[in-house]
Amino acid sequence: MKRTQVAIIGAGPAGLMLSQLLAARGIDTVVLERHSRDYVESRIRAGVLEHQSAAALRAAGVGARMDAQGMAHSSIDLAFAGAHHRIDLEGLTGKKIMVYGQHEVVKDLIAQRLADGGDIRFEAEVNAIEGLDGDQPKVRYTHNGQPHELVCDFIAGCDGYHGVSRTSVPSNALKVYEHRYPYAWLGVLAEAAPTSDELVYARHETGFALYSMRSPSVTRLYFQCRPDEDPEAWSDAALWAELHRRLETGDGWTINEGPILQKNVAPMRSFVVEPMRYQRLFLAGDAAHIVPPTGAKGMNLALADVQVLAPALVRWFEAGDPRGLDSYSEVCLKRVWRVQRFSVWMTRMLHAQPDADAFEERLQQAELASAAACESAARHLAENYVGLPLEAPAT
């Protein structure tokens, strides 16, 4: 049996960042991760960091490689009706975004935690969470084939949608909101130099497509597909042909081709659970909410959660003040629902809707035209895309 102050389940951005923030204030944590280190460091996920997320990583001492290798972007492009339309993020908000893969953020956090002597246990399978209604909850897990028990003051469930944390809460204590979309994204990772300085969000009559990048030599591309699409049914030539068709607008801009390193289908859903706290268990990241990827908000919401939770835990340990913990769920959910609204708006504006009639399609075109031509509409998009300000916790 081991004792710690905060048991963190999940070594994704939320769990690792929480451990980093708490360690800076002398609070002991143990991070339990069911997968291997190689697995979590190579798991390809979103790659857009909001202005505040990038600033938070720098403040936590893990931003040096991001600033050296990441790509700061001051705008995005909307491509529709045969033309590109620039949304000037920096001009409208004074802020930029950073393109830097989630797996790179995870690598940086793991390296720093281990360098600082942090306790991260990979391949640790959590079997049960007990005693949440008391002041000494326990996490039972298996590591290296042996059973272990971790006693703590609080538990942070940062283990994703399929993790054990949320399912350890009585079902009648949570309210679940969920919506599944009738389409998915087929994603392609290619060894090809980017041909655009900015991300391109394209609305084509056959469906949405996204042009993004991971490095000066690697591009990440997506296009709308069926939820049951088989990526292996697509040859490389067919994938490139479809991406050319949806992304290119006839103005001479094209995309580079190269060896395809990975292809996969990502389903799309919106999910929120309320509240994000049960007794001494706090949910963060995908364990509490999932957004459609169109607005590039998943990792950013996870990092925002722990920027609320960490100072609340510090106040409790340093001063016995529970107000930050008591308001954690309310504060986070305000942001979660605003981000859900923006992500759903972006999704509906850019995707071909299977059951849309001609009237709805014309409205969708008008929405895109407004975002591109109307300064107030463009500002609304830009302010949400670079990231909403964090709300101050209860005082």
Which residues have CB under 8 Å from 357's CB, separation 6+?
Answer: none
Secondary-structure percent of the chain, ordered helix, strand, coil, rounded to 5: 40, 30, 30
Q: Which of 263, 217, 218, 211 is nearest to 237 (CA)?
A: 263
The SS3 call for residue 127 is strand
Strand blocks (E) in 205-330: 207-215, 218-225, 260-274, 277-278, 281-283, 289-290
Q: Residue 125 CA to chain centroid, in angstroms? A: 23
The SS3 call for residue 332 is helix
Any idea which residues carry the catalytic annotation?
73, 201, 293, 297, 385
Phi, psi of 136 (to 5 degrees): -140, 70
Q: Give the amino acid at 152.
A: C
Residues 265 and 229 sit within 8 Å (Cβ to Cβ): yes
Q: Cis check for the bond before 275: say yes or no (omega within 30 of 0).
A: yes
Q: Give the amino acid at 75.
A: S
β-bridge mates for residue 208, sequence order = 203
Residues 103 and 44 sit within 8 Å (Cβ to Cβ): yes
Query: Cα separation of 366 and 31, whole Å?
Result: 48
Which residues have CB under 8 Å from 172's CB, separation 6+?
Answer: none
Q: Tell me, what DSSP letter sits at residue 171?
A: G
Query: Cα separation of 226 and 234, whole Å?
Result: 13
